[in-house]
Chains A and B, each alone.
Chain A
Amino acid sequence: MTMLNKLKTLLFAGIALLSMAAHAQLAIEITGAGASRFPVAIPIFENEGALPRAVTDVVRADLERSGLFNLVDLGLVALPESVRPDLVNIRARGADAVLTGSVIAQADGRFDVRFRLFDTQRQSELGALAIRMAPAQYRNTGHRIADFVYEKLTGQAGYFSTRIAYVVKSGGRYELQVADADGMNPQTALVSREPIISPSWAPDGQRLAYVSFEAKKPVVYVHNLPTGQRNVLANFRGSNSGPTWSPDGQRLAVVLTKDGNSQLYILNSDGSGARRVTSSGGIDTEPAWSPDGEWIYFSSDRSGGAQIYRVSVNGGTAQRVTFQGTYNVSPRLSSDGKSMAYISRNEGRFQVAIMDLATRQTTVLTNSNRDESPSFAPSGRMILYATESGGRGVLSAVSSDGRIKQRLSIQASDVREPAWGPQPKF
């Protein structure tokens, strides 16, 4: 067994143990990886034994899970941040980049974590950062370091510090949960005996809008996660569903049936000022804002089968977006507004597809049968969605090129309705 494999095995064993310790946690399994992985060395940080757990374990697990990196093991030797490492030697051992770091205790009980990233091929420094943290924040810090490495090496923002929301069903019990993007630290926001669907993150990352059936009909709530305070956003006569926040967090698009069939409306975030956006004889549902706040993408049966359209937030004539096949639903836009993820039915199978909105080129990204509810990571590379495995609902993530695949599951529970939260502000 090579050192690298040994390290990987140790990492996976660590993840598995943690999953068992905290029950009902999402266990993540990598089911596909990038064609070529970038070799990077993340040796232990100087003095990280002073922390409750090693911060570099978190960094390695994040980078490994992304499917883009190969972790090169340099042995149990700490490379201090203050010393320029022997880049020639490290390169000879197969790493094209190396992260050095030190953990420095502060008088107030906190720690400074200082780290530097080097390119061993060009013998150059790629950047450095210091993070001050309380000991218990080692996981947050690890995610931020992984974000730093990921961004420096891929040119795209990392997503390891983000959170996800999802619904767990076990027996007749529904829980709306929020966890870190690696499935750790799951917390329950709402418990109900009736279904909960369609969670949607406010851009502030503090509030979720969702649909709850606790009143024997679908009603839209806005829920403040830290305080647990929930307000009814929309409880009009008929059904209320599909909430999605405008990019500025001031308004929400929702689906109401107060005037007949399901139609799109825009409300202020306190529920006031309902304004109808579409007027079709059929179904208009699943609104999704474009990142510039100008358009609402939605699914509709106005042409017979379910297809995706877009309409200006000011209303007017809708433009059809999807043309292939007879069932295209659940549109979601990437943060750069260039791509649309959606669910497409292909020969009876429901699969995650992506459309380049400029060229209208479409690609089916998955090979599963029951995919639902796609949701982009804020950096746009990964798409989280719900699917079925072994008769149970599981969450999966796929990269926008279809190569990297991960599965997130909870033992003996149905997990569904995932929503990837916004990039946190530090």
Chain B
Amino acid sequence: MKKYLLPAILSAMLAACGSTGTSTDSAAGVSDAGAGVTTVTAPGMSGSGIAALTDPNNILSRRSVYFDFDSFTVRSEFTSLVDAHARFLTQNPDMRMLVQGNTDERGSREYNLALGQKRAEAVKQALLLLGASESQIESVSLGEEKSRCEEATETCFAENRRADMLYSGEF
């Protein structure tokens, strides 16, 4: 404390020496600049799904690709799923897809956003290799913000290391 205080007192004393006695500043008005805040409500969203894509007996109803810890490569067990979606996109060139990457909750939100982007981009690149067109797919990240599972357990973390494929009308 002392080491902060001493220069302050010295400078204050010097200042006091310079201005003799009546050092009261002219009345400075309190400004209200920035005091006001207007509340805004963000618009809602969420479109509806497409029947063929939500039939539980159809592989296309499966939309999630899971990743290993600290990994951004599509595991081989998801090859047939990605292939099915790539074929659907090829056969429906007007269809658009949003790939949303996710991470578990550990670490920085912005850094996790970038990690989630890597996962979404990995799925997009796999879809492109299997014939889908670049203009059909946008890869984005939700980072750790939209976790499906909120417990701090390894099962939960694994559930959240995921990229989801959404079709036109679903986002």
Q: Which residues of A contact B (CB under 8 A)?
A: 34-38, 68, 81, 112, 114, 116, 119, 122, 124-134, 137, 140-141, 144, 151-156, 163, 178, 187-195, 197-198, 205-206, 211-218, 223, 225-228, 230, 237-239, 241-242, 255, 257, 260-262, 283, 285-286, 299, 306, 327, 329-330, 343, 345, 350, 372-373, 416-417, 424-426
Contacts and interface: CB of A to CB of B under 8 A. Distances in A.
Contacts of A153: 5, 8-9
Given A38-B5, A129-B24, A257-B117, A144 B30 contact: yes
B169 to A, nearest CB: 12
B140 A372 contact: no
A216 B11 CA distance: 55
Contacts of A114: 24
A283 B118 contact: yes
B27 A213 contact: no
B108 interface: yes
A156 to B, nearest CB: 7
Interface of B: 1-2, 4-5, 7-9, 11-13, 15-16, 23-45, 98, 100, 106-111, 113-115, 117-118, 121, 138-143, 145-146, 166, 171
B109 A373 contact: yes
Given A132-B29, A214-B42, A330 B110 contact: yes
Given A126-B16, A190-B41, 14 more contacts: A81-B24, A114-B24, A116-B24, A122-B13, A124-B13, A127-B12, A129-B28, A132-B27, A144-B30, A218-B113, A226-B38, A228-B40, A238-B139, A285-B113
Contact of A189 (B40, B43, B98, B115): B40
B16 A242 contact: no
A226 B36 CA distance: 5
A373 B138 CA distance: 28
B contacts with A: majority SS: mixed
B45 A425 contact: no
B55 to A, nearest CB: 23
A131 B28 contact: yes
A315 to B, nearest CB: 19
B109 A190 contact: no
B147 to A, nearest CB: 10
Nearest to A230: B40
A306 B27 contact: no
Contacts of A299: 108, 110-111
Contact of B110 (A154, A198, A228, A230): A198
A140 B15 CA distance: 26
Contacts of B32: 137, 140
Nearest to B40: A228
Contacts of A128: 23-25
B140 A239 contact: yes
B8 to A, nearest CB: 4
A38 B8 CA distance: 13
6 contacts: A126-B13, A152-B12, A190-B42, A255-B110, A257-B117, A286-B111
A262 to B, nearest CB: 4
Nearest to B25: A129
A345 B108 CA distance: 10
Nearest to B115: A283
